[in-house]
Structure 1
Amino acid sequence: MQTPAAPPTAEATGHPKRGLVLTTMCAAVILVVAMVSAVNLAVPKVADSDLHPSPTQLLWFVDAYVIVFACLLIPAGVVGDRWGRKRALLWGLGVFAAGCLVCALAAGIPVLLAGRIITGAGAALVMPATLSLALIAFPPAERPQAIATWTGAAGIGGVVGYLVGGGLLQFLPWQGLFAAMVPVTAAVMYAVRFAPAAPRNDAPLDPVGTGLLVLGFVALLYGIIEGPATGWLSAPIVGAFVLGLLILTAFALQQARSKHPMLEPQLFRTPRLRAGALGVTAAFFAMFALFFTNAQYLQYVKGMSPLTAGVAFLPLAVCMMLVSRRASRLTARFGARPVMAVGILLIAASLLCVSWSDARTPYALYAVYLLAAGGGMGLTLPPLTMGIMGAVPPHRAGLGSGLNSAAREIGSALGVAVIGTVTTSRFAAAVDPAAGSGHRSASDILAAAARLGTGEHARAVTAFSDAAGTGYRVVAAVLVIAALFVLRWHRAQEPE
């Protein structure tokens, strides 16, 4: 007598509404990533508002969200493992909406910055939960494609931020950008009810490790952000870098000795996890450096409006989404290392080409550079993400997702800080050597040059293009150096 076959398990067949679940997770990711880039377009309106922010306050207005987002991502992944990923996602979306509302209603800079910090904390809870819930909804055979789709959504989130932010800011005051996010977030929260309930585990929280990680990273970013204005060799900046390194060293020692570490050091003994973490950081370092400076290039040099500048960035977004959906098949056919190598070379080549662009560069040619960057990101990110998620145990999927997302946001924050520092410093010195290392913003310098006449403004625009080109070449060099380690580590065989 033949024994009847056992019915397929839920894990083997996947969630019946997994397409809707994946769409919802991608929408949540796009929402929180878009806020990283969209706020850059709001800076001019905030600067001209009744809040009267100083240049330093404007910089922290942009970076407060990314700093909190990046620092809390790994702890947020642990929270999702412990409290439930669906619950963490709902709480994160609620906190994100509350932070946006605080920003929209802010009557002073301290309240505005507080709103940005709250929004970043909510985003940190959202990001890792989305990937882990998306993986649970799909059977193992379909997970690589789900990861590729999620990766593409996370990657184009910055471009969506430019498009939506540019459209809103074209017709609304800066408060409208934040107010519009509240109903959108509520709609995503409603759709989350279709997501599966993920199993929990008793992963312990690590408040000491979390505090050390946040303080160390904030100290390093403070040095990068404040360095041009304060002076790179000044006591506050040198002290910030030294303090940041000491605190992060203390974090590593604390994690190694803790019985329940937030981020187990032994995970990084896996070569492909190291490759994935560094590779994702380097890729987003390059991508958000491009985002940050490209918005200024298109407006200052090419004379585009915020909305037109956002639309002009579409080639990168479309190409990245299309290529990322095919990256898993290419990886299965050719292997991860060749696919990543081609992707990284495309990104580096696009940065070098963009670095030579100026006011005379036709947009059609510039769009080709953006296509190359989008294709490179689409090829590179899916195998890197799969390497990270495959290196952690299934019951710690929240931690793996948090590590992956933290690498993305840390890379984004560093990319903006580094290219902003290089570009502003060289631009200020070229236009007015007495300005030192960049006490004035590019907008202030160009506005002052325009008041002196067309010729002076043209010279200032050329100086900005040259300074931005230097920044792009620095970013490309860092990307290539990081890629050498990534490809080397990825070649190493993991232990059986």
Structure 2
Amino acid sequence: MRHALHGTAEPSRRSSGRRGLTAAMCLSVTLVVGMVSAVNLAIPEISADPVRPSATAVVWVVDGYLLTFACLLLPAGALADRLGRKGVLLVGLGLFTLGNLVCAAAPHVGVLIAGRALSGAGAAAVLPTTLALLVHERTGAERSRAVAVWASMTGLAAVLGNVGGGAALELGSWRALFLAVTPLACGALLLVAALAPAVPRTPRPVSWPGAVLLTGAVAALLYAVVSGPQQGWGSAPVLCAFAAAAFLGPAWAGSELRARHPLLDPALLTSSRVLAAAAGMALLFTGMFGLFLLNGQYLQYVQGTGPLGAGVRLLPMAAALLAGPRCGLLLRRVLGDGATAAGGMLVLAAGLAVVSRIDPHTPYALYACGAVLTALGCGIATPVFSETMVSALPGERAGAGSGLQSLTRELGSAFGIAVTGSLVTAGFTARLPARLTGEPVPTTVPAARARATEAGAGEALDPGILAAFTGAVHTATLVLAAGIALAALPVGRGVRHREG
């Protein structure tokens, strides 16, 4: 009898421990992903700061975090496999917390960008290790459910970041946003220390040449995309950055293929199925975070809501992000991976196309419909791409495998923000009323309004300023929607293909 009781208690304790671990991993993911969208809501306030940062500087406040996040994901995943996933996760949460404190105390925008970069370095250690710890010793349907939960939280975190960030901004300045996340990060540290398992290490050295080349390639390309509208696409710095990216990207791929212990297994770089999943993931998050960049600005500038009101109005996206992975699991059973992935991308593209129809008089319900479709499509397709990449490597290399899928997510997020920001800046300045186009040309709505006030025509020119902004949003979201829709079927066919 005692043995029988012991036998039933053991699975119960294991199940309870796994639920606790899932909660700790989900909180960690929510913090590092949520801070991207939370800062997007702060863009209007940061743009109106007395130092008057340029549109490029404001984009770097967001992309400085994502750049270091994306570039360090693969080295962080490899380090986690080698040094221990639990320890690397704890260090990552510590760096994330410290970076946010630097941001809160930043005396000017340069220090703010540096603090965001430090937080991004911590986030790079958090994201791949959470997924690797979550799938440890889980197989089959249990593993698929764990990946689906993790994937839904990565999307849901962006919406929760909007609500939490909006509340912090409503109660204080943009500095309060960075202070508010500190106690939550400390709580995550304690939970991870208590609940995360000590997974056996893998004695593989880290390919630092590959890490350096990858970081340089991504940094150069992002610099070119973000700086192009301000400095001119034909300017020497932008052309040099594009050239550096074109050289460093292939150099990184060649280095990985030749290295004895690469960051990525060469089999991943030559697998058409994995490459299709990586491309699909990057495109999903290009569209998703392009929209997140615009959400707070549209709702605050055009709809006239405060930061908290903007966050609350994005809550329908949370329901879609929660429902999406569950819908995706059902669709995979009926249609298979390829059709589910392509369908999710097409739903996301349809949502962006709906958002592209906005103008200063668009009702909130129509905008919400587009935002919900965008989130639903992301939620449907993300688990397919995540599991394809994570399952491509054996369990002892799960940190590197999850690092790959996290890398493509964050690269997509960074490029979505950079490309959308560039398109909106270019479209906004081109559409501004003639009275506001003197040098230097205002590149944000607050800057244009300040220029109009200085000219003594604030209220008279405001409709023209808002029309310029929504016209720029129209172009940017249509470009994103078209690119994702065109790629959906090729990506779906690639994910469906089973290599022998």
Deviation at 1:139, TM superposition (A): 4.8
Where 1:359 maps in the other structure, the secondary structure is coil
Selected match of 1:443 from 434, 443, 446: 446
Q: Distance in 2 between matches of 1:458 and 1:441?
A: 14
Deviation at 1:232, TM superposition (A): 0.4
Length-normalised TM-score, structure 2: 0.92
Worse-superposed segment, 430-439 or 349-358:
430-439
1:277 aligns with 2:282: no
Selected match of 2:476 from 455, 471, 478: 471
Q: Is the 8 A contact 1:429 1:436 kept in 2?
A: no
Q: Distance in 2 between matches of 1:240 and 1:357?
A: 34
1:155 aligns with 2:162: no
Q: Distance in 2 between matches of 1:364 and 1:116?
A: 34
Q: Is the 8 A contact 1:213 1:247 kept in 2?
A: yes
* 2:364 matched residue in structure 1: 363
Q: 1:55 to 1:380 in 2, by over 3 A?
A: closer
* 1:68 matched residue in structure 2: 68
* 1:4 matched residue in structure 2: none
* 2:3 matched residue in structure 1: none
Q: Distance in 2 between matches of 1:25 and 1:417?
A: 28
* 1:41 matched residue in structure 2: 41
Q: Distance in 2 between matches of 1:377 and 1:464?
A: 26
Q: Distance in 2 between matches of 1:376 and 1:20?
A: 29
Deviation at 1:297, TM superposition (A): 1.3
Deviation at 1:250, TM superposition (A): 1.2
Q: Distance in 2 between matches of 1:358 and 1:52?
A: 26
Selected match of 1:462 from 459, 467, 472: 467
* 1:262 matched residue in structure 2: 263
RMSD: 2.3
* 1:3 matched residue in structure 2: none
Length-normalised TM-score, structure 1: 0.93
Deviation at 1:81, TM superposition (A): 0.5
Worse-superposed segment, 404-413 or 456-465:
456-465
Q: Is the 8 A contact 1:14 1:138 kept in 2?
A: no
Q: Distance in 2 between matches of 1:279 and 1:400?
A: 16
Deviation at 1:468, TM superposition (A): 0.5
The code of the aligned residue for 2:161 comes to G
The code of the aligned residue for 2:155 comes to G
Gaps of 5+ in 1: 1-6
Q: Distance in 2 between matches of 1:437 and 1:424?
A: 13
1:101 aligns with 2:64: no
Q: Distance in 1 between matches of 2:127 and 2:165?
A: 20
List per-residue Cα deviations over 1:159-212 (Å, max 9, x = no partner): 111111111011112221111221111101111121222221112111111111
Worse-superposed segment, 403-412 or 252-261:
252-261
Where 1:17 maps in the other structure, the secondary structure is helix
* 1:18 matched residue in structure 2: 18
Q: Distance in 2 between matches of 1:250 and 1:222?
A: 19
Q: Distance in 1 between matches of 2:268 and 2:91?
A: 28
* 1:401 matched residue in structure 2: 402
Matched ranges for 1:295-444 at <5 A: 295-432=296-433, 434=437, 440-444=443-447
Where 1:169 maps in the other structure, the secondary structure is helix
The code of the aligned residue for 2:106 comes to A
Matched ranges for 1:60-209 at <5 A: 60-136=60-136, 138-192=138-192, 193-209=194-210
> Percent of pairs identical after alignment?
40
Worse-superposed segment, 98-107 or 114-123:
98-107
1:220 aligns with 2:221: yes
Q: Is the 8 A contact 1:145 1:325 kept in 2?
A: no
* 2:4 matched residue in structure 1: none
Q: Is the 8 A contact 1:168 1:177 kept in 2?
A: yes
List per-residue Cα deviations over 1:232-278 (Å, max 9, x = no partner): 01111111101111011211111121111112333132222112111
Q: Distance in 1 between matches of 2:484 and 2:19?
A: 35
Where 1:204 maps in the other structure, the secondary structure is coil
List per-residue Cα deviations over 1:272-296 (Å, max 9, x = no partner): 2112111110000000011111221
Q: Is the 8 A contact 1:428 1:445 kept in 2?
A: no
Q: Is the 8 A contact 2:346 2:488 kept in 1?
A: no
In the comparison of the two structures, how many residue pairs are matched? 488
Q: Distance in 2 between matches of 1:76 and 1:476?
A: 32
Q: Is the 8 A contact 2:348 2:378 kept in 1?
A: yes
Deviation at 1:54, TM superposition (A): 4.9
